[in-house]
Amino acid sequence: MEAQSFLQVNSWSYPDDQLTKPTSRVGKKSFLVFRNNRYLTVSTDTIAFFYVKNEYSIIVCFDLQEYIVNYSLEYIQNTLPELKFFRLNRQYLINFNAVKEVEHYFARKLLVKLIIPVAEKMVVSKEKASTFLHWLANR
Return the exposure string of 106-132: e unless at least 16 CB atoms fall within 10 Å of the residue's CB, then b. eeebbebebeeebeeebbbbeebbeeb
**Which range has the worst mean pLDDT, 15-24, 91-100, 105-114?**
15-24
- Summarised one tens digit per residue, pLDDT across range 55-96 is 999 999 999 999 999 999 999 999 999 999 999 999 999 999
The alpha carbon torsion through 125, 131, 134, 136 (nearest 10 deg) reads -50
Radius of gyration of the chain from its Cα atoms, rounded to whole angstroms: 20
pTM: 0.79
- Looking at the predicted structure, is the pLDDT value of residue 8 above 50? no
Give residue 135's identity as a one-letter amino acid code: W
Where are the chain's structural domains? 2-137
- Identify which of 130, 126, 119 has the alpha carbon closest to the alpha carbon of residue 92: 119
What does the pLDDT read at residue 25?
A: 59
Give residue 114's identity as a one-letter amino acid code: L
- Looking at the predicted structure, is the pLDDT value of residue 13 above 60? no
- Please report which confidence band the pLDDT of residue 37 belongs to, taking 50, 70 and 90 as the band edges: very high
The correct answer on CATH 2.40.50.40 for the domain covering 2-137 is yes
Residues 103, 110 contacting (CB under 8 angstroms): yes
Residues 54, 91 contacting (CB under 8 angstroms): no
Give residue 30's identity as a one-letter amino acid code: S
Question: How does DSSP classify residue 7?
Answer: H
What's the average model confidence in pLDDT over 34-57? 95
